[in-house]
Amino acid sequence: MKWKLLGITIIAALGGLLFGFDTAVISGTTDWLKTGFVAQITHELQSSFPTIAEGQLSSFLLGFTVASALIGTIIGSLAVGRPSDAFGRRSILFVLAAFYFISAIGCALAWSWWSFLISRFLGGLAVGGASVVSPMYIAEISPAKYRGRLVAVTQFNVVFGILLAYLSNYLISSLAGAMLGELQYRWMYGVQALPAAAFFFLLFFTPQSPRWLIAKQRVDEARGVLEQCGADADNLEDEIKDIQASLDLTHHTMQEPFYCKKYLKPILLAVAMGAFNQLSGINAVLYYTPTIFKMAGAGVESALLQSVIIGFTMMVFTMAALVIIDHVGRRRLMLLGSIGYIIGLCGAAYAFYTGGNGRLLLGSLLVFIAAHGFGQGAVIWVFISEIFPNRVRARGQALGSFTHWGMNAVISWTFPMIAAAAGWMAFACYALFMVGQLFWVILVMPETKGITLEKIQQELGIE
């Protein structure tokens, strides 16, 4: 593998690192939000809705505050496809890096609930866009034999970003919490501005996607990028011809209808993959990790430290999946991950049902997180980036990401209300959904390892 290709991949995958950091950083600040911004807006609304109990309204608004970024994420994932086709994947990554930076500063300086929501919404736009563009860009620059592990670098960076957010929250709270007071929570958001700025400036060292260049009839530039990225010199012209045939712009256009019969199979695969990813409850766990442990009796600092353990476990197992994904394939990882999900979620449900056994809960969540890192977490962005033809890949990736984030918003918004009624019930529901995923993997999911993007298109029966 060429070092140039690896360097470009790591830079593009910084969008994933920021995605992970932005996703998890709020977990350490939910108490601050609840006693500050949420309490403020709850008090204002209570006079207008006196029949609603204050606790119910507070739980609802906390869920909405956490989900506010997800509303931006849903819009960002859905809206980014066409601009990335028009202006190029790399150009859109510059815009997303700027959004990440502005969001971090905005959350750190927020003066009201509304200003915080707007800043989180902007960060959500960046997360949604990055979840589409980063893996798609990496898939389009990667040779087939390395594509799985290179696209999985995005997920590794997502997980690394989650770990950094947990670790940052813990360090700020434990080392500077007494000195900073409530300012510590603003610092938790503000530190994200540093990697966002680095992402923006490092993008100047990356090229445009060769497949996008060919779609724009810039074949000589695409040839140069493919050579930089380690394409086989003896088969380079054949690869370019395959890409041109996949685009087939004589009979198709980049603006042709997407929701039609010939794309039905990859559309259903992408929707199923995106939905099952969130029906596991993974982001409910990531957003509310300290809250979950406090529900089981842990103290504040202990809950933050256990969050770090959760993040580290996911990183280790994601790294393991990244190493072997191109050898064992996507389906096998999904099978193992589905079984691990079911075991971990059933254990967590039982821990809450029997009164909040802290050790059993931690052990069960570690199994659950390991299963996610080794299975769905490593596979989702690889798989969705592979199954659509070149001419509609941006829109297909956007659909899969939109489904993922839409389900994320539903799960994250409803979790506080379900957990307030019965914590075991939420985990039991997620376990049932994962039984459904297990059957879907066994009966429906195709294998895509080691096959060029153009060959996958043929195997799915798309002209």
- pLDDT under 50: residue ranges of the chain: 250-251
Residue 428, classified by CB atoms within 10 Å of its CB into exposed (0-12), middle (13-18) or buried (19+), is middle
Amino acid at 174: S
Cα 388 to Cα 267: distance, rounded to the nearest angstrom? 8
Cα 371 to Cα 378: distance, rounded to the nearest angstrom? 10
Question: Measured at the alpha carbon of residue 249, what is the angle toward residues 238 and 142, in degrees to the nearest 5?
Answer: 45
Q: Cβ contacts of residue 73 below 8 Å, gap of 6+? A: 124, 125, 127, 128, 131, 405, 408, 409
State residue 437's pLDDT score: 96
Provide the H-helix boundaries in 142-235: 144-180, 183-190, 193-202, 210-215, 219-228
Say what the pTM is.
0.74
- What does the radius of gyration of the chain's CA atoms come to, in whole angstroms? 22
State residue 339's pLDDT score: 96
Residue pair 67/412 in contact by the 8 Å Cβ criterion: yes
Name the percent of the chain in helix, strand, coil, to the closest 5. 85, 0, 15
How is the chain split into domains, by residue range?
3-459
State residue 251's pLDDT score: 46
C-alpha to C-alpha distances, 393 to 135, 275, 360, 408, nearest whole angstrom:
11, 19, 43, 22
What is the 8-class DSSP label of residue 112? S
Residue pair 373/315 in contact by the 8 Å Cβ criterion: yes
Residue pair 199/205 in contact by the 8 Å Cβ criterion: no
Cα 132 to Cα 128: distance, rounded to the nearest angstrom? 7
What is the 8-class DSSP label of residue 256? S
What are the structure tokens assigned to 161, written together?
């970003």
Cα 459 to Cα 285: distance, rounded to the nearest angstrom? 37
Cα 293 to Cα 362: distance, rounded to the nearest angstrom? 8
At what angle are helices 183-190 and 89-109 packed, to 10 degrees? 170
Residue pair 454/243 in contact by the 8 Å Cβ criterion: yes
Give the domain 3-459 fold. Answer: Growth Hormone; Chain: A; (1.20.1250)
Q: Count of CB atoms within 10 A of residue 203's CB?
A: 19
Cα 409 to Cα 120: distance, rounded to the nearest angstrom? 13
DSSP string, 333-360: HHHHHHHHHHHHHHHHHHHHHTT--HHH
What are the structure tokens assigned to 424, written together?
């075991």
Residue 443, classified by CB atoms within 10 Å of its CB into exposed (0-12), middle (13-18) or buried (19+), is exposed
pLDDT tens, residue by residue, 349-381 = 998 888 767 778 888 988 999 999 899 988 998
C-alpha to C-alpha distances, 214 to 82, 84, 229, 230, 233, nearest whole angstrom:
16, 14, 15, 17, 17
pLDDT tens, residue by residue, 246-294 = 666 544 555 667 778 888 899 999 999 999 999 998 888 876 766 676 6
